[in-house]
């Protein structure tokens, strides 16, 4: 039997109970979390997620749209004391977080969570880099340095928070409705991580999460043109860091922000989703400390939206199975390509291009274009999205032959980035392939494979000695006495990797 609220106005569903103490419980867990509470394999994975985020930032710092962002920000931001990756410039904490987050997200090579879509490193690391340097400069709360173990534990907190907030809000649903889910789920993640590193009490941490959540937002229309999509996760890094800095001295933010029905975080961002219950705040703390959501953070092997990775692999299997059908010369004989996607990815990436050529951002978010470059180039890496490659006739011939559809089969848990591809040729022959889960789901990408990705990408941006030093520091982070050593290595200039 469903009970009524004390005022008798609304049915009381436990998922919607605004007196269940979820935000307070989560804040206490964060505050009390110790290194020994985190299983060794989880700490090890977190270090490799940090390494992956760092190399994405090193490469992303010098792509053209990142350089445009740096030029604009330096024009109005005064100098500060916080590192900007790849530049011998220092800015204030919030501005540095925005730039560093935009670099990590700049090339679509960064991580993503398969159940509650967000790019965690682009949110958590920029906030923590800046918070680390705030600690060194703080006059009111002098601590001097942040150890590698403190940094690692705060990272674990952030990597756990974003997916949990997202799952409470309906997981992939926000993408279907046109919200950019990562900048929304990322706000509490950056707040919790920064608060942990800064040493906030549970009460102040709850306030910081509330301040971060009231700034949350992000429109997925940013994917079509322009450059701002690259910065939106960075907004979440800034918002969470601001919440932690504002509340560490007792400033009071929104309380009970996860469970509040009127004006609460989950309540507002789940409106209109048609689900029953509309949201479930209990998912924020479900199996907290025993089930680690950061283990469901996926590592990208392709330089495009994660939702199209299954499509890429389905096409690659077709190319391997029917080599004579998929030679470059034979591609002109393709009559049509049908791509079947999950509801979230169909809404996000299954759109038909409105103009030719697309921007780099749009191309990396478009299933038809991504599939075409896999067929033509047999790879989907950063080079496929250079400005000079975006208007190739052979690619657009295949783009125009591609139609995307929603297939409910891929709406199942962890199938969201899967795909079925059907290719029909001019002689009536038809071939198809299905990939339920792209590489990295089951089994996940190994830590060694992450290090290999780091070395491959880092070699294009920095010298071998610096590359080795960064890897050694991150992989041994629990033994590092002062994280500023790592930040100094990140501050040195990087090479431009894309024209």
CA dihedral 165, 167, 170, 176 (to 10 degrees): 90
Q: 360: closest CA among 72, 7, 58, 68?
A: 68
Token code pair at residue 57: 């930032």
140 pLDDT band, cuts 50/70/90, is: low
DSSP symbols for 383-452: GGGSGGGTT-HHHHHHHTTEEEEE-GGGGSTT-TT-EEEEEEETTS-EEEEEESS-TBBTTBPPHHHHHH
From the candidate CATH numbers 3.40.50.1950, 3.40.50.300, 3.40.50.2000, 1.10.4100.10, the one assigned to the domain spanning 3-298? 1.10.4100.10
Is residue 146 within 8 A of residue 198, CB to CB? The reply is: no
pLDDT at 141: 65
Question: Is residue 9 scored above 80 in pLDDT?
Answer: no
Structure tokens belonging to residue 488 = 């100094």
**pLDDT score, position 167:** 97
Q: Which of 193, 222, 234, 191 is nearest to 103 (CA)?
A: 234
- Beta-bridge partner residues of 403: 338
**Which residues, at least 6 apart from 8, have a Cβ–Cβ distance to it below 8 Å?**
none
The model's pTM is 0.95
Mean model confidence pLDDT for the chain: 95
Least confident of 131-140, 231-240, 321-330: 131-140
For residue 498, the model assigns a pLDDT of: 79
What is the location of CATH 1.10.4100.10 in the chain? 3-298
Alpha-carbon gap, residue 99 to 97, rounded angstroms: 6
CB atoms near residue 147 (< 10 Å) = 16
CATH 3.30.1330.120 domain span(s) along the chain? 306-435
The DSSP result for 243-295, as a single string, is HHHHHTTT----SSTTT-SSS-HHHHHTTT---SSS--GGGGSTTTTTS-GGG
- Decide: 159 and 294 in contact? Cβ < 8 Å: yes
Domain 306-435 top-level CATH class: alpha beta
pLDDT at residue 10 greater than cutoff 90: no
pLDDT band at 139 (very low <50, low <70, confident <90, very high): low
Average the pLDDT over 200-211 and give the result: 98
- CA 143, 145, 148, 152: dihedral to nearest 10 degrees? 50
Mean pLDDT, range 78-105, rounded to an integer: 97
Question: Two tokens at 89?
Answer: 């410039």
Q: Sort strands 87-91 and 79-84 into parallel, antiparallel or unpaired.
A: antiparallel
Kindly tell me if the per-residue pLDDT of 1 is higher than 60: no
Give the model confidence (pLDDT) of 108-137 as tens digits.
Answer: 999 999 899 999 999 999 999 999 999 988
């Amino acid at each position: 039997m469903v009970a009524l609220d004390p005022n008798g106005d609304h049915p009381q569903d436990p998922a919607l109970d605004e007196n269940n103490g979820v935000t307070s419980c989560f804040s206490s867990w964060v505050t009390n979390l110790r290194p020994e509470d985190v299983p060794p394999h989880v700490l090890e994975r977190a270090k490799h997620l940090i390494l992956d985020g760092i190399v994405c930032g090193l490469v992303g710092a010098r792509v053209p749209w990142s350089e445009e962002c740096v030029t604009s920000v330096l024009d109005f931001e005064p100098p500060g004391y916080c590192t900007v990756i790849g530049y011998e410039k220092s800015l204030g904490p919030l501005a540095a977080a925005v730039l560093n987050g935009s670099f990590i997200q700049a090339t679509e090579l960064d991580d993503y969570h398969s159940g509650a879509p967000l790019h965690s490193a682009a949110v958590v690391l920029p906030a923590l880099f800046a918070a680390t340097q705030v600690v060194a400069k703080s006059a009111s709360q002098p601590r001097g340095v942040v150890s590698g173990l403190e940094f690692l534990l705060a990272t674990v907190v952030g990597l756990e928070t974003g997916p949990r907030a997202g799952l409470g809000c309906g997981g992939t649903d926000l993408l279907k409705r046109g919200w950019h889910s990562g900048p929304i789920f990322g706000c509490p993640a950056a707040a919790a991580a920064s608060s942990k590193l800064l040493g906030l009490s549970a009460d102040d941490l709850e306030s910081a999460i509330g301040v971060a959540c009231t700034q949350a937002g992000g429109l997925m229309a940013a994917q079509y043109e322009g450059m701002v999509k690259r910065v939106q996760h960075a907004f979440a890094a800034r918002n969470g860091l601001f919440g932690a800095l504002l509340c560490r001295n007792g400033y009071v933010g929104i309380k009970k922000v996860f469970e509040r029905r009127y004006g609460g975080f989950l309540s507002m961002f789940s409106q209109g989703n048609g689900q029953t219950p509309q949201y479930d705040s209990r998912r924020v703390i479900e199996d907290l400390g025993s089930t680690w959501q950061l283990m469901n953070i996926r590592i990208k092997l392709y330089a495009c939206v994660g939702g199209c990775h299954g499509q890429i692999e389905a096409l690659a299997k077709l190319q391997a199975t029917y080599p004579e059908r998929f030679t470059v010369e034979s591609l002109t004989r393709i009559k049509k390509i049908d791509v079947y996607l999950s509801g979230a990815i169909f809404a996000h990436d299954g759109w038909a291009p409105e103009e030719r050529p697309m921007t780099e951002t749009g191309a990396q978010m478009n299933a038809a274009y991504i599939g075409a470059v896999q067929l033509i180039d047999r790879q989907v890496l950063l080079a496929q999205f250079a400005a000079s490659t975006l208007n190739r006739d052979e690619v657009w011939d295949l783009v125009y032959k591609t139609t995307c559809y929603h297939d409910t089969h891929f709406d199942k848990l962890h199938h969201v980035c899967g795909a079925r591809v059907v290719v029909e040729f001019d002689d009536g022959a038809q071939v198809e392939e299905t990939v339920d889960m792209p590489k990295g789901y089951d089994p996940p990408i190994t830590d060694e494979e992450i290090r290999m990705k780091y070395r491959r990408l880092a070699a294009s941006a920095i010298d071998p000695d610096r590359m080795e030093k960064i890897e050694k520091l991150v992989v041994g982070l629990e033994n590092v006495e002062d994280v500023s050593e790592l930040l100094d290595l990140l501050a040195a200039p990087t090479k431009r990797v894309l024209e």
